[in-house]
Structure 1
Amino acid sequence: MTQKLRIGKIATLLAMLEEQERASYSSLLQDVQCCEGKVGSMDMQKVISAVETAVKRSGLIQDGIYRETHALYHAILEGLEGITRGQWAIGEMMRTVGLRFAVVRGEPYVDSGEGEWIAVAFYGTIGAPIKGLEHETVGLGVNHI
């Protein structure tokens, strides 16, 4: 069950790298599907919805297939747990996030029987809703489809 792709690493790099930094990493994207986006909010549901909407619009998952939506949802929640340090709240705790996200879908294992997996990475800032009082944060969630 050796891994052939590190979809979590790829997602994290995509979320963290600026556009001009990405050129040297383009070879990592050959065997995966991905989409990216940005979201800023004090509402956790808006963050979840932004990722889900971007993924569905890009065709990364099939909207009518429950297991794909379910896998995405759990990967999002796992990534947000890292962002919020296990306290699943932002606005309720008077904090806001400004995040870039990347979602990567692929077959990370050599054995094709292991199927496809999805990784959701977030990178950005979290903090009090006062400009300049936020700090960096990162989160990653990986789930099987």
Structure 2
Amino acid sequence: MINVDKNITLGKLAVLSVMYSGEDESALQKKGRELGYRLYKGKVGSMDSSKIFAAVETAAKKEGLIDQRYREEHALYHSVLEAYSGMCRGQGGLGSILRSAGLLFCIVRGSKIPGGDGDGEWIAVALYGNMGAPIKGYEHEVLGMGMNPI
């Protein structure tokens, strides 16, 4: 089992949560919640990037991580866009260039650092999984993370 840093930051929590599973994931998420972060982990697979964005946004709303106000939706959108851009190495698009993605995603909301730094709340999104041609065995691992103030 991992030893979770008591000073884990928002972005690091998002990235590690999306990569860990089992007992390590449970311990990490428990520590994150103890430090005041709110988080959710889900999965999505698609050849259509809009379905990836929609899955993350739907989960964030359903889990109460964002509300209907523009600034919250906007912060989430740009966090997903940054994570997606990193995952695609800056090359936008999946299906249009015959690539598919099977991803785990994690959304984390809270202060950039535990206990806050007076900078308000932020939202981080991490995407991790496989991307490649839509043929089993032709994919490779990808990771992206985005973070924005709310």
TM (norm. structure 1) is 0.92
Identical aligned residues as a percent: 48
8 Å contact from structure 2 (residues 126, 143) kept in 1: yes
Gaps of 5+ in 2: 1-6
CA deviation map 1:60-86 (0-9, x unaligned): 0112x1100000000000000011110
Task: Give the structure 2 partner of residue 71 of structure 1.
Answer: 75
Give RMSD over aligned pairs: 1.3
Aligned residues: 140
- Equivalent residue, structure 1, for 2:95: 91
Aligned equivalent of 1:111: 117
| 5+ long unaligned stretches in structure 1 | none
- Checking the alignment, whether the CA contact within 8 Å between 2:123 and 2:147 is kept in structure 1 is yes
SS at match of 2:53: helix
Match of 2:12 in 1: 9
What is the Cα deviation at residue 107 of structure 1? 1.1
Q: Distance in 2 between matches of 1:53 and 1:24?
A: 26
SS at match of 1:129: coil
How many angstroms apart in 2 are the aligned matches of 1:5 and 1:18?
18
Deviation string 1:3-54 (CA, Å, 9 cap, x unpaired) is x651110001111111332233221332101111100000000000000000
Distance 1:107 1:21 in 2: 22
Please tell me whether the aligned partners of residues 5 and 108 of structure 1 are also in contact (alpha carbons under 8 angstroms): no
SS of the aligned residue for 2:137 comes to coil
- TM-score for both structures, normalised by structure 2: 0.89
Alpha-carbon distance in structure 2 between the residues aligned to 1:16 and 1:135:
15
